[in-house]
């Protein structure tokens, strides 16, 4: 958790859409637009827009995995995706839906629409992702 003293060193950030720079990122089926929050908060948070790029490659996100972070917020800007969450079951998130994904919750993506796009905010900015075993009692229908 950041304290008030560290927040006093944060910088004002204005990420303009006209300057958007879409890059490959954690997942090959998505493009990522960094919003400058990592630099603006000295690495306390990262914020990016993630959107489907049309690639149909199976990658590790469809395996059970978790993110080693203290905060993860997702707001669906467009489209939909179906995930399975440890202890929460299968959930479909749609445009306008928001998720507060608790720290270290195992999850996997089952599928997403071709126009899927989200805003994601994570702390800390340098979080890691690792593949894990399927939790006990996960939904067989999602296999």
CATH number at residue 26: 2.60.120.10
**Which range of residues forms the domain containing residue 78?**
21-135
The whole-angstrom separation of Cα 74 and Cα 9 is 26
Number of domains in the chain: 1
pLDDT tens per residue, range 84-112: 999 999 999 999 999 999 999 999 989 99
In a domain, residue 102? The reply is yes
Residue 37 burial by Cβ neighbours in a 10 Å radius (0-12, 13-18, 19+): buried
Residue 4 lies in a domain: no
pLDDT digits (tens, 9 = 90+) for 37-93: 999 999 999 999 999 998 876 655 578 999 999 999 999 999 999 999 999 999 999
The reported pLDDT for the residue numbered 140 is: 53
């Amino acid at each position: 958790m950041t304290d008030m003293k560290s927040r006093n060193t944060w910088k004002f950030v204005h990420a303009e859409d006209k300057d958007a720079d879409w890059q490959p990122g954690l997942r090959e089926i998505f493009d990522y637009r960094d919003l400058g929050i990592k630099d603006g908060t000295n690495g306390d948070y990262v914020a990016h827009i993630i959107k489907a790029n049309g690639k149909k490659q199976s990658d590790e996100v469809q395996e059970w995995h978790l993110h080693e972070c203290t905060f993860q917020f997702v707001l669906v800007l467009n489209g939909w995706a179906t995930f399975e969450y440890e202890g929460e079951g299968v959930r479909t998130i749609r445009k306008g839906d928001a998720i507060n994904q608790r720290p270290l919750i195992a999850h996997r993506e089952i599928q997403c629409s071709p126009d899927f796009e989200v805003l994601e905010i994570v702390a800390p900015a340098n979080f890691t992702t690792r593949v894990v075993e399927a939790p006990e009692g996960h939904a067989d229908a999602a296999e």
